[in-house]
A and B are shown apart, each in its own frame.
Chain A
Amino acid sequence: MLGLIKKDLLLSIGNAKSLIIVFILYIVLALYGSLDISIIPSILGVMLVISTFSYDYQSKWDSYAAILPNGRKNVPLAKYISTFILMFILAIITLMLLVIINYLKNNTLEVTSILTILLTSLVSFVFEAIMYPIIFKYGVEKARIAIFIITFAFIFGIGFLVDSPIFKNFDTILNFISNYYYIVLPLIGILILSISYIISLRIYKKKEF
């Protein structure tokens, strides 16, 4: 299990190296422009984890994983755990960047930014929770159309969410989930991912490669 998680994280790290320019660009824009970088972890995270599936697909990793001790059983769980770890690390990095940027700009860190990180992370968890069983079932190539459609749905969804009065009055949300949003939101994320995992595992166990 640990080995499989390591493999997915190493893949993401290897892949993130090629995205580092994008990341730097974001930071520069955030420093000198008015761009809010708090949505980066979710976008970057989704890109990274979906691309681990692509790399797996290219090298027919699934067949190979099936011959490792407990490989077949552990591949889906490793994917979910590594996704969670990756999103968490990205969220932490973004948070630290926010602190630094705000310090350099002599601003105070707004609670909105933290909430945005958590909310967008939650959105990407939901996205992944829907995508993973589809990918496990049909493979990343065939699932590509689904990725496309769902991505668009999410972009419009987020756009709608940002424009909606609920989001503007984030005080109401804060009140709604009380002061524990930083626990509640990740918990909802984990719950959704868990349900998704159970579905994925059932699909994967029966799969032939």
Chain B
Amino acid sequence: MNNIIEIKDLTKKYDNFTLGPLNIEIPKGMIVGLIGENGAGKTTLIKCILNIIKESSGEIKINGKEKEKDFEDIGVVLDNSFFPEILTASNINNIMKSIYKHWDSKLYNDYLKKFNIPSNKPLKTLSCGMHKKLEIITAMSHHPKLLILDEPTSGLDPVVRHEVLDLFMNFIQNEENSILLSTHITSDLEHIADKIIFINEGQVIFNEDSPTLLNNYGILKCTNTEFNNLDKKDILAYMKNKYNVDVLIKDLNKVKKKYKDFVIDKITLEDLMVLMIKGEKIC
């Protein structure tokens, strides 16, 4: 069993939004990034996986078993959902040690110290960054094998984000551990994610290894007239700006040889997202 999560033909229907049908596999030992606009379906997907909402159809397996009723080995950070705000970090320790079999109070307290989180102050008095860090370490203190994190880095300043990403890299030092995280801050994922799943309007736009993705795509920049002379089959999507045209291309090296005189940039996930969502396509 090499996949930690397997999703088959998953759909979730709402009145004005439908997620899927999705088929996604998340391999063990990897950091998988889920990207997409707000409202693209990232949170809905995560909530389906976690049984917070019920899928309309399809199948989700976690570690080979039917979607587990028991989440002993999973650590979770949800967007905007945590312990009531008048509780303290030490209250959380007290509660969690009666909830998880493998809750590690020592580890939790070490984390608190490491991140300078006060243990006796109500959560509502913590800064946004502190709060998020507390959510993350709470998710990690029962030695989970899988972390499912919805927007774990939103609201964090760059220094703290760096600390948190480091924590994630530490977590996957164990080859059995895996992380699925959603974010709209795509720069976080560019280096650390092994795989990127891009969701838009409830559909998977692509699902690829991140080194392949980042080395294979590029942006060609040209003028309007130059654009008309481009070979149409090289154009994945394009966006006409006032003074130039941004063209999303695949097979970076091949295209670079073909159009030697053009400016061609390496792609960032952000560009890729914007061009795929907002850009026009030639069909």
Q: A residues near B, CB below 8 A?
A: 1-4, 6-7, 10-11, 14-15, 52, 55-56, 58-61, 63-64, 66-72, 206, 208-209
Contact = CB atoms under 8 A, between A and B. Distances in A.
B262 interface: no
Q: Which 5 A-B pairs have the closest CB atoms?
A: A3-B99, A3-B98, A60-B81, A55-B84, A2-B98
B37 interface: no
Given A60-B81, A64-B78, A209-B53, A3 B86 contact: no
A3 B96 contact: yes
B97 A3 contact: yes
B72 A61 contact: no
A4 B82 CA distance: 13
A5 B47 CA distance: 25
Contacts of A61: 81-84
Contacts of A52: 84
Contacts of B101: 69
B85 to A, nearest CB: 6
Contacts of A72: 51
6 contacts: A3-B96, A10-B87, A14-B87, A55-B85, A63-B52, A64-B82
B263 interface: no
A91 to B, nearest CB: 24
Given A10-B91, A63-B52, A70-B70, A56 B99 contact: no
Contacts of A208: 52-54
Contacts of A4: 95, 99
Contacts of A69: 70-72, 99-101
A58 B52 contact: no
Interface residues of B, number: 32
B138 to A, nearest CB: 10
Contacts of B70: 69-70
A55 B86 CA distance: 8
Given A14-B122, A66-B52, A59 B98 contact: no
Contacts of A63: 47, 52, 78, 81
A56 B122 CA distance: 14
A59 B97 contact: no
Contacts of B71: 67-69, 71
B50 A67 contact: yes
B34 interface: no
Interface centre among A67, A68, A69, A208 (most CB of B within 10 A): A67
B51 A58 contact: no
B84 A11 contact: yes
B52 A14 contact: no
Contacts of B80: 60
B94 interface: yes
B52 A59 contact: no
B76 interface: yes
B272 interface: no
B74 interface: yes
Given A3-B99, A59-B81, A70-B70, 11 more contacts: A4-B99, A6-B98, A10-B95, A52-B84, A59-B123, A60-B80, A61-B82, A66-B50, A67-B52, A67-B78, A69-B101
Nearest to A7: B95
Nearest to A59: B84
A167 to B, nearest CB: 38
Nearest to A61: B84
A58 B82 contact: no
A58 B85 CA distance: 8
A54 to B, nearest CB: 9
Contacts of B91: 7, 10, 14
Contacts of A6: 94-95, 98
Contacts of B86: 11, 14-15, 55
